[in-house]
Amino acid sequence: MYLVCGEALFDFFSQPDTSAQLNKIGYQAIAGGSPFNVAVGLRRLGVEAGFFAGISTDFLGKRLAAVLEAEGVRNDFLLHFDAPTTLSMVAVGADGSPQYNFRGEGCADRLLTVEQLPTLDDNVRGLHVGSFSLVVQPVADALLTLVQRESGQRLITFDPNVRLNPAPSIELWRSQVAKFAEHAHIIKVSDEDLELLYPDVPAQDIAKGWLQHNCQLVIMTRGREGASIFTREQGDWSVPARDVKTADTVGAGDTFQAALITFLTERGLDTPASLPSLDRETLTAMLNFAVAAAAVTCTRVGPDLPYRHQVQ
């Protein structure tokens, strides 16, 4: 079982303005949050998953919990709080890329504390952390303590997924990303996030720094340019993207992350000890599988992640 940790929220997508009445704006609300999407994505790809998060007792929080149950995500790691559900207002650009604006101060997914960390048994093979739960308190300290505690026992995957609206200080993001990166075995990051975090610094240099700690693999997604991988012993290389008609890119990075974990899990390679032995052919196959899965999501509106039989 893979335990995904972080925020759960509702994305409110603005709809095309077809009304002449300026006092009306249409939205479509979709359950989301990067870690939430990864948990759902793992289940759809056939990997047992649980979700460790704070969930609101309000209407939207109950709906999030219902979605997780319907998708088959284990709910015994959820903690329920009498606090609101985070809302994310999303506008999608002409190229399909989203812009986010979060309403989350004091919301349930931020309230987890170190004292509420679960005790994990051998059924939990790995942990995934990422997104703005890395930088908002007290959940940030709780998740950092969790990965510090568990990095010697099970696989840790990490995706910064930088969102400046909940925490606009790029210095804070850099500090927190560095702390989590020390304990992760696989770091997946987008080229856009790297540019935000470390402008004008070559990706190879950033990856080299991360690979000096626990990290065995750094994988950078590059949108329409595909994905690149950086390793300790085998150098770095890239694979191309799939050519698809893009509806939007919401959830594509989360799909990519879930697919990486799925590829390793299906082959019994989802342990820290397995990563150094992976050859170039296997790693390339892993990247191509993740690229193919993300491409499916790009053909759909919103974070609609694919099922295993839909990924070739």
DSSP the chain: -EEEES--EEEEEEPP---S-TT---EEEEEE-HHHHHHHHHHHTT--EEEEEEEESSHHHHHHHHHHHHHT-B-TTEEEESSPPEEEEEEE-TTS-EEEEEE-TT-GGG---GGGPPP--TT--EEEEEGGGGTSTTHHHHHHHHHHHHTTTSEEEEE----TTTS--HHHHHHHHHHHHTT-SEEEEEHHHHHHHSTT--HHHHHHHHTTTT--EEEEE-GGG-EEEEESSS-EEEEPPP----S--TTHHHHHHHHHHHHHHHTT--STTTGGG--HHHHHHHHHHHHHHHHHHHTSSSS-PPPGGG--
Amino acid at 58: D
- Which of the four pLDDT bands, split at 50, 70 and 90, describes residue 89? confident
Mean of the pLDDT values across residues 133-141? 97
Tokens 């919401």 appear where?
250
pLDDT tens digits, residue range 151-167? 999 999 999 999 998 88
Q: What is the pLDDT of residue 177?
A: 98
Mean of the pLDDT values across residues 99-119? 91
Name the token pair of 150: 């568990």
Q: Tell me: pLDDT of 104 over 80.
A: yes
**β-bridge pairing 186-190 and 155-159:** parallel
- Which of the four pLDDT bands, split at 50, 70 and 90, describes residue 85? very high
pLDDT tens digits, residue range 199-222? 999 999 999 999 999 999 999 999
- Which of the four pLDDT bands, split at 50, 70 and 90, describes residue 17? low
pLDDT tens digits, residue range 48-73? 999 999 999 999 999 999 999 999 99
Per-domain boundaries in the chain: 2-15+27-304
- Which of the four pLDDT bands, split at 50, 70 and 90, describes residue 94? low
Q: What is the pLDDT of residue 19?
A: 63
Fold of 2-15+27-304: UDP-N-acetylmuramoyl-L-alanine:D-glutamate ligase (3.40.1190)
Mean of per-residue pLDDT scores for the chain: 93
pLDDT tens digits, residue range 243-270? 898 888 889 999 999 999 999 999 999 9
The reply to whether the predicted model has a pTM over 0.75 is yes
Say which residue, 54 or 93, is predicted with more confidence. 54
Q: Tell me: pLDDT of 92 over 80.
A: no
